[in-house]
């Protein structure tokens, strides 16, 4: 199937430090692809490169058949690329409902509106007027994902969604991603939690020091113990 999102030979720098080296990956419609690798290998930089937050110096980003290289992040968002960054960025002095409303993107509509989000996230539906800043880490993670869905993205990017969450919340997150997959949502996520990644993904791409060092289906990757040992924190 034709990919909905493609990164071709991305080379990204922070000032003069070269971080991504010819990173190439693609995501097909409806697929869940997981970017794996230890701390500092370039997972977040890959998301930032795709989103236009840290534009690659060279390489091509193709989204929905269009060459979007060099586009600013607001244009990528309007085109339908959703991004939940690692640091979550809930607006503390705003309520849950207001945080969700802020996820709307002009010109984008679809199955996700405030009612649909509250149906998917009963936890948030129970506290629409709570201040964002008073939520637990797990509640904030759910709220940032819900907020990204409010923009009805065609591809949802989640940067290390399970990081720092309790096992109970990680279980809820797993069910959420499985629900989204069942509804044909296209997801690109990053993870260091191997079990979580194996449970939610269709395909895995492994990064090491800014290079793609492995790509394969979850069924194949599951058996690659040498690769787990070499490139993951297991």
Span of 26-34, 43-51, 126-134, 174-182 interacting with Mg ion by CB under 5 A: 43-51
Contacts of 36 (CB under 8 A, 6+ apart): 43, 190, 191, 192, 194, 197, 204, 205, 206, 207, 231, 232
DSSP-assigned letters across all residues of 156-178: EEEESTTTT--HHHHHHHHHHHH
How far is Cα 103 from Cα 117, in angstroms, rounded to an integer?
Answer: 11
Q: How far is the CB of 96 from Mg ion (least distance, A)?
A: 26
Question: Which residue, chain included where needed, has tokens 């058996």?
Answer: 223
Q: Using CB under 6 A, which residues numbered 124 to 143 contact ligand ADP?
A: none
Interaction of residue 49 with Mg ion, rule CB under 5 A: no
Q: In 3D, which of 121, 111, 11 has the Cα closest to residue 56?
A: 11
Q: Which is nearer to Mg ion, 139 or 160 (CB)?
A: 160
Of the pair 10, 145, the CB lying nearest ligand ADP is at: 10
- The one of ligand ADP, Mg ion, none whose footprint includes residue 177, by CB under 5 to 8 A per kind, is none
Closest CA to 207 of 191, 222, 220: 191
Size of the site for Mg ion (CB under 5 A): 2
Residue closer to ligand ADP by CB (options 42, 59) is 42
Kindly provide the b/e burial profile for residues 173-210, where b requires at least 16 CB atoms within 10 angstroms of the residue's own CB: bbebbeebbeeebbbbbbbbbbebbeebbbbbbbbbeb
- Write down the least CB distance from residue 210 to Mg ion, Å: 13
Question: Which of Mg ion, ligand ADP, none binds 37 (CB below 5-8 Å, type-dependent)?
Answer: ligand ADP
44 part of the interface to Mg ion, by CB under 5 A = yes
Token readout for 211 is 């290079």
CB of 46 to ligand ADP, least distance (A): 7
Site track for Mg ion across 97-126, x = CB under 5 A: ------------------------------
* Interface of this chain with ligand ADP, residues 3 to 62, rule: CB under 6 A: 14, 17, 19, 37, 39-45
Give the footprint of Mg ion on this chain (CB under 5 A).
43-44
Give the footprint of ligand ADP on this chain (CB under 6 A).
14, 17, 19, 37, 39-45
């Amino acid at each position: 199937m034709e990919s909905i999102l493609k990164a071709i030979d991305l080379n990204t720098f922070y000032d003069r430090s070269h971080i991504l080296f010819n990173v190439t990956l693609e995501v097909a419609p409806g697929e869940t692809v997981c970017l794996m690798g230890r701390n500092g290998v370039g997972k977040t930089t890959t998301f930032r490169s795709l989103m236009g937050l840290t534009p690659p110096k060279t390489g091509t980003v193709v989204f929905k058949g269009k060459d979007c290289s060099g586009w600013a992040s607001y244009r990528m968002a309007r085109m339908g690329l959703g991004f939940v960054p690692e640091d979550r960025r809930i607006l503390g002095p705003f309520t849950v409902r207001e945080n969700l409303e802020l996820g709307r993107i002009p010109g984008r509509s679809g199955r996700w509106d405030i009612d649909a989000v509250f149906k998917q996230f009963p936890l948030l539906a129970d506290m629409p007027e709570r201040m964002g800043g008073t939520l637990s880490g797990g509640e904030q993670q759910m709220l940032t994902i819900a907020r990204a869905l409010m923009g009805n993205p065609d591809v949802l990017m989640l940067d290390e969604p399970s990081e720092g969450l309790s096992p109970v919340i990680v279980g809820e997150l797993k069910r959420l991603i499985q629900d989204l997959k069942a509804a044909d949502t296209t997801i690109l996520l990053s993870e260091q939690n191997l079990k979580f990644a194996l449970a939610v993904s269709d395909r895995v791409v492994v990064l090491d020091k800014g290079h793609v060092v492995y790509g394969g289906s979850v069924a194949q990757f599951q058996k690659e113990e040498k690769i787990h040992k070499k490139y993951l924190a297991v």
